Structure 1
């Protein structure tokens, strides 16, 4: 079994994060949690092999919709600063990997993650035409509920016809740190307001 990585790059938000949202303060609970990643792999099988141009279009479409999703989930494009215990929302980007496996989807079950970016995405196509989308999200940013909201937002943006009301349904609400701040932390409401 062999997996060839075709593309490995950082995907940035489609709209730059405003400077007023540059420092994303994490909650007391997130500050005390281990610096680990939550991993998830979504498998999509198909009854026929897609031509290379169709797979290329899928890759491009997923990259563009991920970039748009990162505009709302802007902390995921930043970096966690351990010494200050906050996320620097510098739009450095989420790790995005495109790979090709020379075996069937049913033989694939592992994704190796890295913990530097807060979000890593690996999209792998298989000889059978199937696709696996593997993701790692830092627990410093969110839990499985946050992860599911992110996935639903990205999935909604990835559809051929994007319904903005449905996208808004899966928009994030960054308020945990306001309700459970770290000791001696002064936060303003401005830090939790999202840009339009």
Structure 2
């Protein structure tokens, strides 16, 4: 994809904002602390030449209430892997680019490696205090269409927080007032406070799942380095309901008659299909990573507009042979068990466990990215993040709603998303990355199970 870069700007808050160090919760500092990409494609009517100036102006204004995004991460003075957010109004990065392609040249917008040219890059070789926390790339196409591609720091907020910011930015660009002010005080999750008690390493607590369930296999590292492939699966409403009926057929009275959700059903089917495609032996252990929004699961619930990380990672466990041979409801049930663990007691105990750790580096994906074999993704595991409840569509900056919204480049084996179809017809989209040698087999097993 041919993309020409036309300019790069630093956008700062339009008005003075509070400056100082903002304590981060333990959950902000663990898991992914790099950036998460998303992309929006538009066909604006009229002259698109003023879009960049309009977006920069409204971005400068929205950074006033969302001022933490204009700051920088800082390691604390101790060498313990802990971070703070320096609110210093250093600003965010805004890039302008052009492409000779048209939106029609992109077909159905299926994710591909070429999207990296549309997505602003972050130089992770720089010290962490030099990383912008939010980056925007505006790319104009020859047809007059545009792509707005975003990189949002996961250390600052999770998916609901990112979508809150993006929707309010669009609202402000349209000339409308903010709908929900961000709640910035992370002390509701005891950010910056000492642990209540000294941690016992034997206590139950948060443990990063290890990929290396099959360490004894010498080929594991070689297998992980094989080429990955991207695809987007499409599932109709009728296919979703067919799978739910199949999963719910195995329910008994212990579930109080509550059928499996779309997420539990589709993800269970994906888990089984991945086991088949990867040709796991019967006793191969496998993990499935699940992200659960705890905002309404805590007592009391987190304040409306909470701006930070409140999506907690849990892991469903299974053995490939059981997942494949037993009814779909078995896999869905394993996933439900993991999700239902996330309640007020669970959240507070996991945060307390992390507070008691001397060093958080081993719980951060930044270090997993740089290691040979420490990350979660990859054979024999899978991670399926749900965007089904997020307001991902209808982001109107003043020139109409997007023609397509989706993730940027997700290129880790086993990394996948579950999105609602853009037409609101009950269909689903599943962007997924698998090793190239497994992708066609995965699609075959996935669709055979719902035909």
Structure 2-normalised TM-score?
A: 0.36
Contact 2:120–2:136 under 8 Å retained in 1: no
Structure 1 position 82, deviation (Å)? 2.2
Deviation at residue 126 of structure 1 after TM alignment: 0.2
Cα distance in 1 for partners of 2:41, 2:89 equals: 28
For 2:16 and 2:31, the matched residues in 1 are separated by 29
CA contact (8 A) 2:69 2:92 kept: yes
Q: Which residue in 2 is equivalent to 1:137?
A: 152
1:146-185 correspondence runs (5 A)? 146-159=161-174, 162-164=175-177, 167=178, 169-184=179-194
Q: Secondary structure at the match of 2:29?
A: helix
* 1:189 corresponding residue in structure 2: none
Unpaired runs of 5+ residues, structure 2, are: 78-82, 107-113, 125-130, 196-451
Residues in 1 aligned to 2:102 and 2:75: alpha-carbon distance in whole angstroms: 40
1:61-97 CA-to-partner distances (Å, cap 9, x unmatched) read 1100000011111011111002351111111110100
Candidates 40, 44, 60, aligned match of 1:67: 60
2:142 corresponds to which of 124, 127, 139: 127
SS in 1 for 2:182: coil
> What secondary structure does 1:96 align onto?
strand
In the superposition, relative to structure 1, how do residues 112 and 68 fare at CA in structure 2: closer, same or farther (>3 Å)?
Answer: closer
Q: CA deviation at 1:9?
A: 1.4
Counterparts of 1:63 and 1:17, CA distance in 2 = 18
Query: d(CA) in 2 for partners of 1:133 and 1:12?
Result: 19
Q: CA deviation at 1:182?
A: 4.5
Name the counterpart of 2:88: 90
**How far 1:181 sits from its partner (Å)?**
2.0
Unaligned runs of 5+ in 1: 186-196
d(CA) in 1 for partners of 2:62, 2:97: 21
Based on CA coordinates, which of the two structures has the bigger radius of gyration?
2
1:31 aligns with 29
Q: TM-score, normalised by structure 1?
A: 0.80
Q: Taking CA–CA contacts closer than 8 Å with sequence separation of 6 or more, which of the two structures ends up with the larger relative contact order?
A: 1
- Tell me by how many angstroms 1:112 deviates: 4.3
Task: Give the Cα–Cα distance (whole angstroms) in 1 for the partners of residues 140 and 165 of structure 2.
Answer: 22
Three-state SS of the structure 2 residue aligned to 1:55 is: coil
Mapped partners of 2:7, 2:25: distance in 1? 35
Separation in structure 2 between the aligned mates of residue 13 and residue 149 of structure 1, nearest angstrom: 18
- State the Cα distance separating 1:60 from its structure 2 match: 0.5
The offset of 1:15, in angstroms, is 0.8
Over the aligned positions, Cα root-mean-square deviation in angstroms equals 2.0
TM-aligned CA deviation for residue 127 of structure 1: 0.4
Picking from 112, 115, 132, the partner of 1:109 is 115
Alpha-carbon contact 2:120-2:151 (below 8 Å) kept: no
SS of equivalent residue, structure 1 residue 30: coil
Match of 2:97 in 1: 99
Structure 2: how far apart are the matches of 1:137 and 1:82? Answer: 19
